[in-house]
Structure 1
Amino acid sequence: MPELPEMETYREFLNHNILHKPITNVEINREKSINTGVQSFIDAVKGSHINFVKRRAKHLIFELSSGQFLLLHLMLGGLMFLGTSKNSPDRTKQIILSFGEFQLNFIGLRLGYLHLLNQTELKEKLSELGPEPFEMYQDEFLQRLERKKGALKPLLVDQSVIAGIGNCYSDEICFQARLHPLRKASDLSDEEKIRLYDSIKPVLSRAVQFGGYMDFPMYEGDQQTGKYNENTYVYEREGEKCPRCGGRIERVDHSSHKSYFCPNCQK
């Protein structure tokens, strides 16, 4: 599932390529991917343009010139591709927004969605999300951690605690902090809590720099998106050598989450 770095990569790209261009056509091939009737959705979106694209947690928010918003959550398997009909991927597109000859394809939205909302509805939809990692101060993080008793992995992926972190980057953050992903938050020393906080922004920043780990191209010739997949430290590297100490990376399953870690330097 795309996490904060993937959605931030998409946001930056889209803001450079689709803003203020009229939406000339809207194609809906899966009604369950939207939250209104097909014709109502088309009538509301077609002819407008996008003022800007923002990110909140794992969502993208498209502000339309009409004052309404499109809220995107790709969920598991969701992808986007911007191109023309000539280089469009041979994949089923649930939704296509056209900007003249260019098309923004929404692919794999079996669980994901693109919802049309007004400002009140948008605020309500996002109301239960925790703070953004890049905007969260140390004191707030420590206060949130103080109230938690469970393991670090489920804590870090809980969107009501911190928004935007999922399976991949929670493992990378724990590795950076030298903490076992199943350590109890209540058992951490003050020094370890601060070390955990200090690991969040560098890990996410590095992932954004490498274009996230989702390696499906955003456009033809895209060489950046997904490069973090080649630069993870522990995520999905079971059996490989730890880049820090040389130990063997292991995988552990806990509460429907899989975690990758080095047992030698993540005690």
Structure 2
Amino acid sequence: MPELPEMETYKSLLQQLIGGQTITGVTINREKSINIAKEPFVLQIVNQKIEAIERRAKYLIFQLQNGSCLLLHLMLGGWMFYGKEEDRPDRTVQVQLSFGDHHLYFIGLRLGYLHLLTPEMIEQEFQSIGPEPLEHGFSSDAFLAIMRGRKGGLKNTLLNQEVIAGIGNRYSDEILWHAQLLPERRLTELDDNHLIRLYESIRYILQQGIQHGGYMEEPLFKGDVKTGGYKMSVHNREGEKCQRCGTPIAKVEISSRKTYFCRTCQR
């Protein structure tokens, strides 16, 4: 599932590709991927200019000229491709936005969706989502205030979107490995020094993910050399040597999530 770095990469690239462009056509191949009937959906977004593209947590928001918004959540298996018809991947496309002879293909939206909403509805959707971990106002003091008094395990806390926005299964493993903390440790077992280390690892790993274009291998467009440059240090590397101490990476399940960590240098 795309997480904060992947969606931030999509945002910055799409701003360059379609920001300020007008939607000239819409194709809906799976009506469950949208939230209203096909005909009004198409009528309300065709001939609309993309005024801006924003990210919140794991969502993208396409702001349209008429004031309405398209809210995208790719969920598990979802991705996008932008290009001409002859460049389109040989995959099932659920929704397609056209910009002249170029198209933005939404692929793998079995669980994901593209919803047409008002700004007020968007605000309501985000009401329970926690702070953005890379925002300037997300200080170490703010982080400590959030974490103090919580009793859950580290992994599940990082995955909780009401606590911190945008971190999913992969980057939670990377963050905890970088902070040298075991994923099953309880927050009540950590002192402020541990929490500050965790805070710094959250910001470092997410910034690294963005800098290197996230982990997803599928390019956004033909010739895309940005997307997918981030290489995981621990996630999905069971049995490989820890890059820090050489111990084989272990895998367990925490709340039905595959979790990867080092038994030696994470404590």
Quote how far apart the aligned CAs of 1:253 are.
0.8
Quote how far apart the aligned CAs of 1:232 are.
1.3
* Partner Cα distance (2:255, 2:36) in 1: 35
* Partner Cα distance (2:33, 2:66) in 1: 21
After the TM superposition, which segments of 4 or more aligned residues of structure 1 sit over 4 Å from their partners? Answer: none
Quote how far apart the aligned CAs of 1:247 are.
1.3
Quote how far apart the aligned CAs of 1:23 are.
0.6
Q: Secondary structure at the match of 1:201?
A: helix
Q: How does 1:83-162 map to 2 (within 5 A)?
A: 83-135=83-135, 136-162=138-164
Work out the number of aligned pairs and report it: 265
* Partner Cα distance (2:254, 2:114) in 1: 31
Quote how far apart the aligned CAs of 1:200 are.
0.7
Aligned to 1:163: 165
Q: Secondary structure at the match of 1:53?
A: strand
Opposite residue 122 of structure 1, the aligned amino acid is I
Q: Secondary structure at the match of 1:106?
A: strand
Quote how far apart the aligned CAs of 1:224 are.
2.4
Q: Secondary structure at the match of 2:66?
A: coil
Opposite residue 236 of structure 2, the aligned amino acid is E
Aligned to 2:175: 173
Aligned to 1:29: 29
Aligned to 1:15: 15
Opposite residue 263 of structure 2, the aligned amino acid is P
TM-score w.r.t. the length of structure 2 is: 0.97
Q: Select the residue among 224, 227, 238 that pairs with 1:225.
A: 227
Q: How does 1:191-230 map to 2 (within 5 A)?
A: 191-228=193-230
* Partner Cα distance (1:89, 1:78) in 2: 13
Q: Secondary structure at the match of 1:67?
A: coil
Opposite residue 193 of structure 2, the aligned amino acid is E
Quote how far apart the aligned CAs of 1:137 are.
1.5
RMSD of equivalent CA atoms: 0.8
Opposite residue 41 of structure 2, the aligned amino acid is F
Q: Secondary structure at the match of 2:55?
A: strand
Q: Is residue 154–residue 257 contact of structure 1 (8 Å, CA) maintained in 2?
A: no
Higher mean C-alpha deviation, range 254-263 or range 152-161: 254-263
Q: How does 1:55-74 map to 2 (within 5 A)?
A: 55-74=55-74
Quote how far apart the aligned CAs of 1:109 are.
0.6
Gaps of 5+ in 2: none
TM-score w.r.t. the length of structure 1 is: 0.97
Q: Secondary structure at the match of 2:106?
A: strand
How high is the sequence identity, in percent, across the aligned residues? 52
* Partner Cα distance (1:164, 1:198) in 2: 16
